[in-house]
Amino acid sequence: MTADELALLRGVEAAPDDDLPRLVYADWLDEHGRHARADFIRVQCELASIERRLPGMTAEEKREAEVLRDELAKTEREMMSTRRDESVGVAPTIEGTMNCALSLSLQEHYERGFLKTFSIYRFFENHTADILSCSKMIPRPRIEITSARSLLDSTRSHPDLLRREVWSEVDVVEMYNHGPSQPLLPHEFIPLMRLDFRRLASFNSDRMELNPGHVCVIAERLRAPNLWHINLADNQIVDSGVAFLHRAIYAKTLRSIDLSRNPICRPEISKLTKDRFPSLVRLDLTECPIMPQSLAQLRKQLPGVEVIC
C-alpha cells in the first residue's frame, strides 16, 4: 500500500458518514487500474444515497429511484458473485487468511464499499487469523463472535487460545447457542471470561437460561473494561442476580443494561445507584414483575436514567 492510498483510507476512516472520501478513493483506484474495486464503492454509495433520499421524494421520483435501485442492486450482486475479491478489495496481506470468509461459519456485511461487520457464528481455531486480519483493515470493521458453545469447544480443543491477544480486537460477543446444544452452566462460562476482551463494547447473552450464578461469573470475571452495553434479557435472573452487576470492572462504563423478561420483583436497590453506574442512561425491565415500590425507588436512585418497564 502506497502512502497516497493509506492517506485516502485514513480519510474514509475519519469521516464514516461522508461519501465524498469514499468517492475520491474510488477515483484514485480508477487511475491505478483497479476498476472493479472503484465500481463497487460507487455502486454501494449510490444505493445508500437512494435509500437516504427516498422518504423525501415525490411518487414519480420514487418510482424512478426504485428502478435505479433495483438495477444497482443487481449489479452489486453480480460483482460479489463473479468478481468478489477485485470488488471488495481484499489486501494481499489479508487474502490468505480471509479465504474461509465464504464458509457457513462466517458472515460479512459491506456498506458503501467497505467491510462494515465481520461476524463469526461458528467459531473454529483458524478464525483467530481472520480476526487479526480484520483488525488491520482501514477503516476497521466491527468484529463479532456470536456462538458461546462453539467458542467454548474451541478453547477446550486448543487451550493456547486462552492466552492469545486476538480477543482484544473483538467488539461484540453474543453468547447464543446454535443448534440443539445444552445451555452453558455457570462454571462453563469461566474459561470464556478469561479472554482479554479489552475492546469489547457489547455483550449479549439473552435467551440462555441464565441464573444468578451466571450473572455472578459475568460480573466478576468478564474482562471488558470498556463495555457499554450488556443484554441479559429472557433468562432466569431473579432479584439477587441483579446486585452482582455492581461488582463488575465495567460498571462505570455501562450505558445500557437489558434485564427485560426476567423474574425480577424486588432487586437490591442499594446496589443500583448512579454512583455505581455513573454512565448509565438506559435500564430495560420490560415485562419484569417488579414491585411498584421498588420501581419508584429505583427511578429515584438513578436520576437521568431511562428506566423502561
- The reply to whether 136 and 259 lie within a common domain is yes
- Averaging pLDDT over each range in 3-12, 191-200, 203-212, which range is the top one? 3-12
In this prediction, residues 89-118 reach a mean pLDDT of 64
C-alpha to C-alpha distance for 196 and 58, rounded to whole angstroms: 52
CATH number at 172 reads 3.80.10.10
Contact 209, 183 (CB under 8 A): yes
Q: How confident is the model at residue 183 (pLDDT cuts 50, 70, 90)?
A: low
Which range, of 185-189, 220-224, 273-277, averages the lowest pLDDT?
A: 185-189
Kindly state the percentage of the chain with pLDDT values over 90.
49
The pLDDT tens digits for 114-164 are 999 988 877 776 778 888 888 889 999 988 887 777 777 787 788 887 777
In this prediction, residues 259-268 reach a mean pLDDT of 90
- The reply to whether 284 and 155 lie within a common domain is yes
- The reply to whether 255 and 221 lie within a common domain is yes
pLDDT of residue 101: 43
- The reply to whether 81 and 100 lie within a common domain is no
Domain enclosing residue 77, as ranges: 3-86
**Which of the listed residues 47, 65, 86 is the one where a domain comes to its end?**
86
**Which of the listed residues 56, 86, 116 is the one where a domain comes to its end?**
86
Which range, of 240-254, 262-276, 293-307, averages the lowest pLDDT?
A: 262-276
C-alpha to C-alpha distance for 279 and 228, rounded to whole angstroms: 8
Q: Is the pLDDT of residue 91 over 50?
A: no
The widest CA-to-CA distance across the chain, in whole angstroms, is 68
Burial class (CB in 10 A: 0-12, 13-18, 19+), 14: exposed
Chain centre to alpha carbon of residue 190: 22
Strand 282-284 vs strand 142-145: parallel, antiparallel, or unpaired?
unpaired
pTM of this structure: 0.78
- The reply to whether 51 and 113 lie within a common domain is no
In this prediction, residues 164-188 reach a mean pLDDT of 71
Kindly state the percentage of the chain with pLDDT values over 70.
90
Query: For the chain, how many structural domains are there in total?
Result: 2
**Which of the listed residues 57, 86, 115 is the one where a domain comes to its end?**
86
Q: Is the pLDDT of residue 189 over 80?
A: no
Q: How confident is the model at residue 214 (pLDDT cuts 50, 70, 90)?
A: confident
- The reply to whether 50 and 144 lie within a common domain is no
In this prediction, residues 209-215 reach a mean pLDDT of 87
**What cell numbers appear for 105 in the block?**
461459519
- The reply to whether 258 and 230 lie within a common domain is yes
- The reply to whether 102 and 247 lie within a common domain is yes
Task: Write down the mean pLDDT value for the chain.
Answer: 85
Range 45-58 burial, b when 16+ CB lie within 10 A, else e: bbbeebeeeeeeee
- The reply to whether 148 and 272 lie within a common domain is yes
pLDDT of residue 96: 40
- The reply to whether 13 and 94 lie within a common domain is no
Q: Is the pLDDT of residue 252 over 80?
A: yes
Q: How confident is the model at residue 105 (pLDDT cuts 50, 70, 90)?
A: low
- The reply to whether 270 and 159 lie within a common domain is yes
